[in-house]
Amino acid sequence: MKLKKHHKWIIGGSSVIIIFMITISIFTYMIFVRQELNYNLLGKKITDLKIETNTNINSLSEGLIQTNEDLGSLSSRLGIIHEEFGFLKASVGADFSGVVENSVPSVVTIRTDVSQGTGFIVEERGYIVTNAHVLTDGTLVNVITYEQEIIEADLVGYDTTFDIALLKIPGTHDTLKFGNSENVQVGEKVIAIGNPLGLQFSVSEGIISAIHRQGPNGLDVYIQTDAALNSGNSGGPLINNKGVVVGINNFKIGGSESLGFALESNFIKFAINEIYQKAFNESLI
């Protein structure tokens, strides 16, 4: 049976509509797929950008940390250079100002209810060495720091053979270091820091006149110096031009000038460790 013309038109029109709808669907799908691809690409770019940003931030943070460490190291090095410059000035001439500046904060006044002397800090936790005779007959021991802080001290112990006493105060403090007294040379310049006649933190200069002199204990363990020593200097440090302790000022021959004596540093350390060993069963320095 033959289709009439209007039937053919309807069928043809329907085909066109179907093809148009399919085309629209395909086009819409392609747009959606393309947008999806764009979204995925954009998301990846954003993720990559975040990773790159975080990496840059971490690198910057590490750089800042390294810079702070470098600045801290530089500051520390400048302090060392300043200290070494002071020692250099002392070693090439008569200027001990750098050594004094670095040493005095670790020196203290020892005051009891019956006498006064000097001491110096040998360990940062507040351990102080002085002469045992400075504490004789005293019932209360106060330490006066360079900053004029008055602190009550505890007696750890003492050694009568070497006339050494070890005290303890609370807090953290700057210390003086010991040199090897076997390396001391006659003629070497030294300074004595102490409180002669109550004049706090006085400094006198001299040379080492002799070594291994015999003392009141009958032992040849004393340095002879012409640095001025007076009542109140007992227990103070004798320091060389390198800024280290070579002796502890102990006594002078009465009525004489320029005849002072200091216990050699190696025996100070020995006595300190003996005292600390008895108290705590270990060495201190």
Which of 106, 133, 204, 265 is the catalytic position? 133
Rounded Cα gap, residues 236 and 131, in angstroms: 8
Instruction: Give the Cα separation of 233 and 207 in Å (integer).
Output: 17
Cβ atoms of residues 159 and 271 within 8 Å: yes
The H or E element containing residue 97 is: helix 97-103
Map tokens 């250079």 to a residue.
Answer: 81
Q: Examine the residue annotation and report whether 226 is marked as an active-site residue of this protein.
A: no
In degrees, rounded to 5, the angle at the alpha carbon of residue 106 between the alpha carbons of residues 104 and 112 is 100
Q: Among residues 103, 106, 181, 234, which one is catalytic?
A: 234
Q: Is 133 a catalytic residue?
A: yes
Beta bridge partners of residue 225, listed in sequence order: 208, 260
Of 103, 106, 159, 163, which is the active-site residue?
163
Three-state DSSP class for 5? helix
Whether residue 61 lies in the annotated active site: no
Residue 216, SS3 per DSSP: coil
Residue 215: strand, helix, or coil: coil
Residues with catalytic function: 133, 163, 234
